[in-house]
């Protein structure tokens, strides 16, 4: 039943971008706040996105009310992925993921 699967909270949405600084500036102008930046790499990152040799830089943006986040990701490796290639669903331009929680 869909009633049992209602989303109670959305932790974050992630979007892959080519220019992290420009993306941060854009979403800041829309009213979001930069929470922090960092590097992501290693086995955990590889397993999370399903690619080998992941090295990326992320910026975490938050809405003014603090309830929602937007994760902006720029991949340094693997090499640029073209739209239509299997890996594009994870690391291609504008690829995204949504993390939600469900209460039973």
Token pair in block for residue 44:
């955990």
Q: Per-residue confidence at 1, pLDDT binned at 50, 70, 90? A: low
Say whether domain 10-98 belongs to CATH 3.40.309.10: no
* Composition of the chain by helix, strand, coil, percent to 5: 25, 40, 35
- Is the pLDDT score of 88 beyond 80? no
- What pLDDT digit, counting tens, does each position of 23-74 carry? 999 999 999 999 999 998 989 888 877 788 889 899 999 989 888 889 998 8
Question: Which pLDDT score is estimated for 44?
Answer: 85
Q: Where in the chain are the domains?
A: 10-98
**Residue 104 DSSP SS3:** coil
Token pair in block for residue 103:
């209460």
pTM: 0.69
- Is the pLDDT score of 101 beyond 50? no
């Amino acid at each position: 039943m869909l009633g049992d699967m209602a989303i109670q909270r959305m932790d974050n949405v992630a979007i892959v971008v080519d220019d992290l600084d420009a993306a941060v500036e854009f979403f800041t102008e829309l009213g979001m706040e930069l929470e922090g930046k960092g590097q992501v790499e290693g086995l955990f990152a590889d397993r999370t996105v399903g690619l080998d040799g992941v090295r990326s830089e992320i910026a975490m943006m938050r809405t003014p009310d603090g309830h929602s986040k937007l994760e902006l990701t720029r991949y340094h490796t693997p090499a640029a992925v073209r739209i239509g290639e299997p890996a594009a669903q994870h690391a291609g331009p504008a690829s995204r993921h949504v993390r939600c929680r469900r209460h039973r």
